[in-house]
Protein backbone atom coordinates (compact mmCIF):
# COMPACT_ATOMS: atom_id res chain seq x y z
CA UNK A 1 0.00 0.00 0.00
CA UNK A 2 1.30 3.51 -0.85
CA UNK A 3 1.71 6.19 1.78
CA UNK A 4 2.55 9.85 1.16
CA UNK A 5 6.22 9.02 1.68
CA UNK A 6 6.29 5.65 -0.03
CA UNK A 7 5.08 5.63 -3.60
CA UNK A 8 4.68 2.30 -5.40
CA UNK A 9 6.71 2.27 -8.63
CA UNK A 10 4.70 2.10 -11.83
CA UNK A 11 5.19 -1.23 -13.55
CA UNK A 12 4.29 -1.60 -17.21
CA UNK A 13 4.63 -4.57 -19.51
CA UNK A 14 6.23 -4.18 -22.93
CA UNK A 15 4.41 -5.52 -25.97
CA UNK A 16 6.73 -8.55 -25.86
CA UNK A 17 5.75 -9.23 -22.23
CA UNK A 18 8.88 -7.90 -20.43
CA UNK A 19 8.33 -5.95 -17.22
CA UNK A 20 9.20 -2.27 -17.44
CA UNK A 21 9.76 0.15 -14.56
CA UNK A 22 11.19 3.67 -14.62
CA UNK A 23 14.65 2.35 -13.72
CA UNK A 24 14.58 0.26 -16.91
CA UNK A 25 15.45 3.52 -18.69
CA UNK A 26 18.19 4.60 -16.28
CA UNK A 27 21.53 4.94 -18.10
CA UNK A 28 24.85 3.63 -16.81
CA UNK A 29 26.23 7.16 -16.43
CA UNK A 30 25.02 9.39 -13.59
CA UNK A 31 23.91 12.85 -14.87
CA UNK A 32 26.57 15.44 -14.09
CA UNK A 33 24.42 18.51 -14.77
CA UNK A 34 24.57 21.37 -12.24
CA UNK A 35 22.12 20.89 -9.35
CA UNK A 36 18.80 22.47 -10.40
CA UNK A 37 19.49 22.35 -14.17
CA UNK A 38 16.22 22.07 -16.10
CA UNK A 39 17.59 19.14 -18.10
CA UNK A 40 17.02 16.75 -15.15
CA UNK A 41 13.29 17.26 -15.55
CA UNK A 42 13.45 16.64 -19.30
CA UNK A 43 15.34 13.38 -18.76
CA UNK A 44 12.87 12.21 -16.14
CA UNK A 45 9.86 13.18 -18.30
CA UNK A 46 11.30 11.30 -21.27
CA UNK A 47 11.88 8.17 -19.17
CA UNK A 48 8.30 8.35 -17.87
CA UNK A 49 6.92 8.86 -21.37
CA UNK A 50 8.77 5.77 -22.66
CA UNK A 51 7.49 3.76 -19.69
CA UNK A 52 3.89 4.87 -20.17
CA UNK A 53 4.11 4.13 -23.89
CA UNK A 54 5.46 0.66 -23.01
CA UNK A 55 8.41 1.07 -25.35
CA UNK A 56 11.31 -1.26 -24.55
CA UNK A 57 14.81 0.26 -24.62
CA UNK A 58 15.70 -1.71 -27.77
CA UNK A 59 12.86 -0.05 -29.68
CA UNK A 60 14.21 3.47 -29.12
CA UNK A 61 17.32 5.41 -30.12
CA UNK A 62 18.23 8.77 -28.57
CA UNK A 63 20.64 10.89 -30.58
CA UNK A 64 22.26 14.18 -29.59
CA UNK A 65 24.72 16.84 -30.74
CA UNK A 66 27.09 18.63 -28.35
CA UNK A 67 26.25 20.67 -25.25
CA UNK A 68 25.21 20.08 -21.64
CA UNK A 69 21.79 18.94 -22.85
CA UNK A 70 23.38 16.75 -25.51
CA UNK A 71 24.92 14.57 -22.81
CA UNK A 72 21.46 13.08 -22.26
CA UNK A 73 21.90 9.86 -24.31
CA UNK A 74 24.51 8.71 -21.78
CA UNK A 75 21.97 9.04 -18.97
CA UNK A 76 19.19 6.99 -20.52
CA UNK A 77 19.05 3.28 -21.26
CA UNK A 78 18.07 3.06 -24.93
CA UNK A 79 20.20 2.82 -28.04
CA UNK A 80 22.02 6.12 -28.31
CA UNK A 81 24.55 8.22 -30.10
CA UNK A 82 26.37 11.41 -29.05
CA UNK A 83 27.27 12.93 -32.41
CA UNK A 84 28.80 16.25 -33.52
CA UNK A 85 27.67 19.77 -32.63
CA UNK A 86 24.43 20.49 -34.53
CA UNK A 87 24.31 17.14 -36.31
CA UNK A 88 21.79 15.11 -34.32
CA UNK A 89 19.05 15.55 -36.93
CA UNK A 90 21.35 14.62 -39.82
CA UNK A 91 22.25 11.38 -38.04
CA UNK A 92 18.64 10.85 -36.92
CA UNK A 93 17.28 11.08 -40.46
CA UNK A 94 19.88 8.62 -41.73
CA UNK A 95 19.08 6.26 -38.89
CA UNK A 96 15.34 6.47 -39.50
CA UNK A 97 15.83 5.59 -43.16
CA UNK A 98 18.18 2.73 -42.27
CA UNK A 99 15.77 1.25 -39.72
CA UNK A 100 12.35 2.83 -39.96
CA UNK A 101 11.00 0.50 -37.25
CA UNK A 102 12.99 2.29 -34.52
CA UNK A 103 11.57 5.23 -32.56
CA UNK A 104 14.10 7.97 -33.22
CA UNK A 105 14.38 10.77 -30.65
CA UNK A 106 16.89 13.58 -31.25
CA UNK A 107 17.81 15.81 -28.31
CA UNK A 108 20.03 18.83 -27.70
CA UNK A 109 20.22 22.51 -26.91
CA UNK A 110 19.05 25.68 -28.62
CA UNK A 111 22.59 26.49 -29.77
CA UNK A 112 23.00 22.99 -31.13
CA UNK A 113 19.64 22.79 -32.88
CA UNK A 114 18.78 26.32 -33.97
CA UNK A 115 22.31 27.69 -34.39
CA UNK A 116 24.94 25.40 -35.85
CA UNK A 117 22.28 22.78 -36.67
CA UNK A 118 19.77 25.26 -38.09
CA UNK A 119 20.16 24.04 -41.64
CA UNK A 120 19.41 20.44 -40.68
CA UNK A 121 16.42 21.67 -38.69
CA UNK A 122 14.86 23.35 -41.74
CA UNK A 123 15.37 20.37 -44.04
CA UNK A 124 14.13 17.80 -41.54
CA UNK A 125 10.97 19.86 -41.07
CA UNK A 126 10.16 20.15 -44.74
CA UNK A 127 10.71 16.41 -45.27
CA UNK A 128 8.35 15.55 -42.40
CA UNK A 129 10.69 12.81 -41.20
CA UNK A 130 8.99 10.63 -38.59
CA UNK A 131 11.08 11.49 -35.57
CA UNK A 132 10.83 13.45 -32.32
CA UNK A 133 13.08 16.44 -31.70
CA UNK A 134 13.41 17.63 -28.10
CA UNK A 135 15.25 20.92 -27.70
CA UNK A 136 16.29 21.83 -24.16
CA UNK A 137 16.01 25.56 -24.72
CA UNK A 138 17.86 27.45 -21.98
CA UNK A 139 18.38 30.51 -24.20
CA UNK A 140 22.16 30.37 -23.72
CA UNK A 141 25.24 28.25 -24.49
CA UNK A 142 25.62 26.30 -21.25
CA UNK A 143 28.55 23.96 -21.92
CA UNK A 144 30.82 26.74 -23.17
CA UNK A 145 29.99 28.78 -20.03
CA UNK A 146 27.39 31.33 -21.01
CA UNK A 147 27.49 32.98 -24.43
CA UNK A 148 24.37 34.19 -26.31
CA UNK A 149 22.51 31.58 -28.30
CA UNK A 150 19.98 31.97 -31.14
CA UNK A 151 17.13 32.09 -28.60
CA UNK A 152 18.73 34.56 -26.16
CA UNK A 153 16.41 37.47 -25.56
CA UNK A 154 17.32 40.81 -27.16
CA UNK A 155 19.23 42.97 -24.69
CA UNK A 156 20.41 40.03 -22.60
CA UNK A 157 23.85 40.52 -21.06
CA UNK A 158 26.07 37.47 -21.40
CA UNK A 159 29.81 36.76 -21.56
CA UNK A 160 29.77 37.34 -25.31
CA UNK A 161 27.41 40.35 -25.16
CA UNK A 162 28.46 42.36 -22.08
CA UNK A 163 26.55 45.41 -23.39
CA UNK A 164 23.43 43.42 -24.20
CA UNK A 165 22.45 41.16 -27.12
CA UNK A 166 21.63 43.27 -30.18
CA UNK A 167 20.19 40.40 -32.26
CA UNK A 168 16.58 39.30 -32.66
CA UNK A 169 16.07 35.76 -31.32
CA UNK A 170 14.75 32.86 -33.34
CA UNK A 171 11.26 31.77 -32.35
CA UNK A 172 11.23 28.01 -32.98
CA UNK A 173 7.44 27.58 -32.77
CA UNK A 174 6.35 29.65 -35.81
CA UNK A 175 9.56 28.64 -37.61
CA UNK A 176 8.75 24.93 -37.26
CA UNK A 177 5.11 25.44 -38.22
CA UNK A 178 5.87 27.40 -41.37
CA UNK A 179 8.70 25.00 -42.24
CA UNK A 180 6.38 21.98 -42.35
CA UNK A 181 6.58 20.29 -38.94
CA UNK A 182 3.40 18.35 -38.24
CA UNK A 183 3.53 18.39 -34.40
CA UNK A 184 4.77 21.54 -32.70
CA UNK A 185 4.78 21.89 -28.92
CA UNK A 186 6.51 23.74 -26.13
CA UNK A 187 7.03 22.57 -22.58
CA UNK A 188 8.63 23.83 -19.40
CA UNK A 189 10.93 21.87 -17.10
CA UNK A 190 8.97 23.18 -14.13
CA UNK A 191 5.84 21.35 -15.34
CA UNK A 192 7.03 17.77 -15.65
CA UNK A 193 3.66 15.98 -15.89
CA UNK A 194 2.62 18.32 -18.70
CA UNK A 195 5.96 17.59 -20.40
CA UNK A 196 5.34 13.83 -20.21
CA UNK A 197 2.07 14.27 -22.13
CA UNK A 198 3.78 16.41 -24.78
CA UNK A 199 6.53 13.81 -25.19
CA UNK A 200 4.03 10.95 -25.47
CA UNK A 201 2.12 12.88 -28.12
CA UNK A 202 5.32 13.62 -30.03
CA UNK A 203 6.69 10.05 -29.89
CA UNK A 204 3.41 8.53 -31.08
CA UNK A 205 2.89 11.19 -33.77
CA UNK A 206 3.50 10.01 -37.34
CA UNK A 207 5.74 12.78 -38.71
CA UNK A 208 8.21 15.38 -37.55
CA UNK A 209 7.49 16.45 -33.96
CA UNK A 210 9.24 19.34 -32.25
CA UNK A 211 9.04 19.81 -28.50
CA UNK A 212 10.89 22.97 -27.51
CA UNK A 213 11.33 22.89 -23.73
CA UNK A 214 12.17 25.93 -21.62
CA UNK A 215 14.81 24.24 -19.50
CA UNK A 216 16.51 26.86 -17.31
CA UNK A 217 20.31 26.99 -17.09
CA UNK A 218 20.62 27.89 -13.42
CA UNK A 219 24.32 28.67 -13.72
CA UNK A 220 24.58 31.04 -16.68
CA UNK A 221 21.11 32.40 -17.52
CA UNK A 222 20.15 34.69 -14.66
CA UNK A 223 17.27 36.27 -16.62
CA UNK A 224 15.04 33.38 -17.77
CA UNK A 225 14.93 31.48 -14.49
CA UNK A 226 12.28 29.23 -12.93
CA UNK A 227 11.12 32.28 -10.98
CA UNK A 228 10.74 34.22 -14.24
CA UNK A 229 8.83 31.43 -16.03
CA UNK A 230 6.61 30.16 -13.19
CA UNK A 231 4.05 32.99 -13.17
CA UNK A 232 4.15 33.39 -16.97
CA UNK A 233 3.70 29.91 -18.43
CA UNK A 234 0.08 29.23 -19.37
CA UNK A 235 -0.92 25.81 -20.71
CA UNK A 236 -2.76 26.09 -24.04
CA UNK A 237 -5.00 23.21 -22.96
CA UNK A 238 -6.49 25.50 -20.30
CA UNK A 239 -7.24 28.18 -22.88
CA UNK A 240 -9.41 26.08 -25.20
CA UNK A 241 -6.74 26.25 -27.92
CA UNK A 242 -7.49 24.23 -31.06
CA UNK A 243 -4.19 22.74 -32.33
CA UNK A 244 -5.63 22.27 -35.82
CA UNK A 245 -6.12 26.03 -36.28
CA UNK A 246 -2.92 27.10 -38.03
CA UNK A 247 -3.35 30.87 -37.76
CA UNK A 248 -4.38 30.88 -34.09
CA UNK A 249 -1.45 28.56 -33.37
CA UNK A 250 0.91 31.00 -35.08
CA UNK A 251 -0.45 33.89 -33.00
CA UNK A 252 0.04 31.88 -29.82
CA UNK A 253 3.53 30.86 -30.93
CA UNK A 254 4.60 34.49 -31.22
CA UNK A 255 3.57 35.25 -27.64
CA UNK A 256 6.56 35.64 -25.28
CA UNK A 257 6.49 38.12 -22.43
CA UNK A 258 4.06 38.58 -19.59
CA UNK A 259 2.35 35.40 -20.83
CA UNK A 260 4.25 32.45 -22.30
CA UNK A 261 1.97 29.76 -23.78
CA UNK A 262 3.09 26.14 -23.41
CA UNK A 263 1.44 22.99 -24.76
CA UNK A 264 0.55 21.65 -28.19
CA UNK A 265 0.37 24.54 -30.64
CA UNK A 266 -0.09 22.72 -33.93
CA UNK A 267 -0.73 19.23 -35.19
CA UNK A 268 -1.78 17.75 -38.52
CA UNK A 269 -2.07 14.10 -39.49
CA UNK A 270 -2.76 14.38 -43.20
CA UNK A 271 0.78 14.64 -44.61
CA UNK A 272 2.91 11.63 -45.60
CA UNK A 273 6.32 11.26 -43.98
CA UNK A 274 9.60 10.90 -45.87
CA UNK A 275 9.59 7.18 -45.10
CA UNK A 276 6.02 6.81 -46.43
CA UNK A 277 7.18 8.26 -49.73
CA UNK A 278 10.37 6.22 -50.15
CA UNK A 279 9.32 3.27 -52.37
CA UNK A 280 12.30 1.10 -51.36
CA UNK A 281 11.01 0.99 -47.77
CA UNK A 282 7.72 -0.51 -48.93
CA UNK A 283 8.83 -3.35 -51.20
CA UNK A 284 8.31 -5.95 -48.46
CA UNK A 285 12.02 -6.32 -47.69
CA UNK A 286 11.82 -4.75 -44.21
CA UNK A 287 14.23 -2.17 -42.77
CA UNK A 288 17.32 -1.54 -44.91
CA UNK A 289 19.58 -2.27 -41.93
CA UNK A 290 18.58 -5.96 -42.00
CA UNK A 291 18.96 -6.50 -45.73
CA UNK A 292 21.96 -7.95 -47.50
CA UNK A 293 24.21 -5.44 -49.22
CA UNK A 294 24.09 -7.30 -52.52
CA UNK A 295 27.87 -7.12 -52.94
CA UNK A 296 30.47 -9.77 -52.03
CA UNK A 297 31.91 -9.61 -48.49
CA UNK A 298 35.46 -9.14 -49.80
CA UNK A 299 34.43 -6.07 -51.79
CA UNK A 300 32.52 -4.73 -48.79
CA UNK A 301 35.56 -5.14 -46.50
CA UNK A 302 37.79 -3.37 -49.06
CA UNK A 303 35.32 -0.48 -49.20
CA UNK A 304 35.27 -0.12 -45.41
CA UNK A 305 39.07 -0.36 -45.30
CA UNK A 306 39.32 2.44 -47.85
CA UNK A 307 37.12 4.67 -45.69
CA UNK A 308 39.01 4.03 -42.44
C1 LIG B 1 31.84 22.68 -34.53
C2 LIG B 1 31.82 23.12 -33.10
N3 LIG B 1 31.70 24.43 -32.83
C4 LIG B 1 31.67 24.86 -31.55
C5 LIG B 1 31.77 23.95 -30.53
C6 LIG B 1 31.75 24.47 -29.11
N7 LIG B 1 30.50 24.24 -28.45
C8 LIG B 1 30.27 23.12 -27.73
S9 LIG B 1 28.77 23.10 -27.01
C10 LIG B 1 28.40 24.62 -27.65
C11 LIG B 1 27.08 25.30 -27.37
C12 LIG B 1 26.16 24.52 -26.56
O13 LIG B 1 24.98 25.24 -26.35
P14 LIG B 1 23.57 24.58 -26.48
O15 LIG B 1 23.48 23.79 -27.73
O16 LIG B 1 22.56 25.64 -26.33
O17 LIG B 1 23.53 23.52 -25.31
P18 LIG B 1 23.64 23.66 -23.72
O19 LIG B 1 25.07 23.43 -23.36
O20 LIG B 1 23.15 25.02 -23.34
O21 LIG B 1 22.75 22.58 -23.23
C22 LIG B 1 29.43 25.11 -28.43
C23 LIG B 1 29.42 26.43 -29.12
C24 LIG B 1 31.86 22.58 -30.86
N25 LIG B 1 31.90 21.64 -29.92
N26 LIG B 1 31.89 22.20 -32.15
S1 LIG C 1 25.78 24.95 -17.20
FE2 LIG C 1 23.58 25.34 -17.32
S3 LIG C 1 22.83 23.94 -18.93
FE4 LIG C 1 24.85 23.22 -18.29
S5 LIG C 1 24.43 21.68 -16.69
FE6 LIG C 1 24.78 23.67 -15.67
S7 LIG C 1 22.73 24.53 -15.41
FE8 LIG C 1 22.56 22.91 -16.95
Domain spans of the chain, in order of start? 12-307
Question: What pLDDT, on a 0 to 100 scale, did the predictor assign at position 12?
Answer: 84
Closest protein CA for atom 8 of ligand 2? 37
Task: Indicate if ligand 2 lies below 6 Å from the C-beta of 152.
Answer: no
Ligand nearest the Cα of residue 141 is 1
* Contact present, 19 and 57 (Cβ < 8 Å): no
Q: Measured between alpha carbons, how far is 15 from 257 in angstroms, rounded to an integer? A: 44
Q: What is the pLDDT of residue 294?
A: 85
Q: Is the CB of 112 under 6 A from ligand 1?
A: yes
Looking at residue 293, its pLDDT comes to 82
Q: How far is CA 1 from CA 4, 5, 6, 135, in A?
A: 10, 11, 8, 38
Ligand 2 atom 5: residue of nearest CA: 33
| pTM of the full structure | 0.95
Cα 248 to its chain centre, rounded Å, is 24
Atom of ligand 2 nearest to the CA of 145: 1
How many angstroms separate the alpha carbon of residue 66 from the centre of ligand 1? Answer: 5
Measuring from atom 16 of ligand 1, which residue has the nearest CA? Answer: 111
- If phi over 0 gives left and psi between -120 and 50 gives alpha, with beta otherwise, what is residue 284? left
**How confident is the model over 180-218, as pLDDT tens digits?**
999 999 999 999 999 999 999 999 999 999 999 999 999
CATH topology classification for 12-307: Rossmann fold (3.40.50)
The candidate with the shortest Cα–Cα distance to 255, out of 267, 276, 239, is 239
Measured between alpha carbons, how far is 214 from 196 in angstroms, rounded to an integer?
Answer: 14
Question: Closest residue (by CA) to atom 6 of ligand 1?
Answer: 144
| Ligand 2 pocket member 218 (CB < 6 A) | yes
> Ligand 2 within 6 A of 225 CB?
no
d(CA 203, CA 183): 10
Q: Say if CB 83 and CB 91 are below 8 A apart.
A: yes
Q: Are strands 233-235 and 209-214 parallel, antiparallel or unpaired?
A: unpaired
Position 307 pLDDT exceeds 70: yes
- Our answer on whether the CB atom of 66 is closer than 6 Å to any ligand 1 atom is yes
Pocket test for ligand 2, best of 35, 37, 41 (most atoms within 8 A of CB): 37
Residue 201 Cβ inside 6 Å of ligand 2? The answer reads: no
What stretch of H or E contains 124? helix 118-127
Q: 153, 167, 207: which is closest to 185 by C-alpha? A: 207
Q: Over the stretch 246-259, which tens digit does the pLDDT of each residue have?
A: 999 999 999 999 99
Residue 59 makes CB contacts below 8 A (sequence gap 6+) with 101, 102, 103
pLDDT tens profile 25-68? 999 999 999 999 999 999 999 999 999 999 999 999 999 999 99
Q: How far apart are CA 39 and CA 116, in angstroms?
A: 20
Amino acid sequence: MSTALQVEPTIETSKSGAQLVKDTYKGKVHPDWCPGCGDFSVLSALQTALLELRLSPHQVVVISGIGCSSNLPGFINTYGMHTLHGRSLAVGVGLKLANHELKVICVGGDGDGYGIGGNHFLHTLRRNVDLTYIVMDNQIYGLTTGQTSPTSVKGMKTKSTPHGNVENPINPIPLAMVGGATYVARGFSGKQKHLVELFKGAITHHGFALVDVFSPCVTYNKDNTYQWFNPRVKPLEEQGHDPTDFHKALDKGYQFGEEVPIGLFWKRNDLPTLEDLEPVLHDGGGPLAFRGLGIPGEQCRALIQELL
